[in-house]
């Protein structure tokens, strides 16, 4: 809740990640790039392995994406699902795009698609009672495993 209700850091973190060189990718949680998009691990995940796939360019309106960018966004999303399925063995996925603040978009001016691995029983009472989300693995460890999965499936 502190993050959700708190002030946002300046700039677009998708654009910052897109502009990062290879030595900075871990800092920005970039797990993969394609010609027009990137996949990054969500710093504030709903679940272990929660990825976001976004265009490299700062584009905020889904229906205005050029066909090549939209196609690349979907292709990288498919690749992300294959990698997550291999590395984390989830039982299912939530995949989606929140358009507009009222729809739950935390970043309203840079289109991105969420890829959230799901397991039976992965929800519990902790977010309601304790105002915390329990994750079974540290973010850095998830990054290492998922990045290695993308690197091995190039």
pLDDT, tens only, 44-81 = 888 899 999 999 999 999 999 999 999 999 999 999 99
Q: Which one of the listed residues 28, 110, 112, 114 is annotated catalytic? A: 112
- 111, 54 contact by CB (below 8 A): yes
Per the structure, the complete domain to which residue 98 belongs is given by 13-152
Region 17-44 average pLDDT: 95
Q: Is the pTM above the cut of 0.75?
A: yes
Give CA–CA dist 132/21, Å, rounded: 33
For residue 96, tell me if it sits in a domain: yes
Nearest Cα neighbor of 32 from 9, 56, 12 is: 56
Specify whether 138 is catalytic: no
* DSSP β-bridge partners for residue 36: none
Any idea which residue has 């993969």 for tokens?
32
For residue 74, tell me if it sits in a domain: yes
Give CA–CA dist 111/43, Å, rounded: 17
Question: Tell me, what CATH number does 140's domain have?
Answer: 3.30.428.10
Instruction: Give the count of domains, the chain.
Output: 1
Hey, is 55 helix, strand or coil? strand
Hey, is 101 helix, strand or coil? helix
For residue 46, tell me if it sits in a domain: yes
């Amino acid at each position: 809740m502190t993050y959700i209700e708190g002030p946002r850091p300046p700039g677009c973190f998708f654009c910052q990640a897109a502009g990062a060189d290879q030595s900075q990718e871990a800092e920005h949680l970039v797990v993969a790039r394609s010609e027009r998009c990137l996949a990054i691990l969500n710093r504030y995940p709903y679940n272990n392995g929660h990825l976001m796939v976004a265009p490299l360019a700062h584009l905020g309106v889904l229906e205005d994406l050029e066909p090549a960018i939209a196609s690349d966004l979907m292709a990288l999303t498919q690749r992300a699902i294959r990698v997550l399925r291999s590395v984390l063995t989830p039982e299912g996925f939530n995949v989606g795009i929140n358009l507009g603040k009222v729809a739950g978009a935390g970043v309203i001016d840079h289109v991105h698609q969420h890829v959230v691995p799901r397991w039976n029983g992965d929800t519990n009472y902790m977010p309601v009672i304790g105002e915390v989300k329990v994750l079974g693995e540290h973010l850095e460890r998830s990054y290492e495993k998922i990045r290695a999965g993308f690197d091995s499936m190039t």
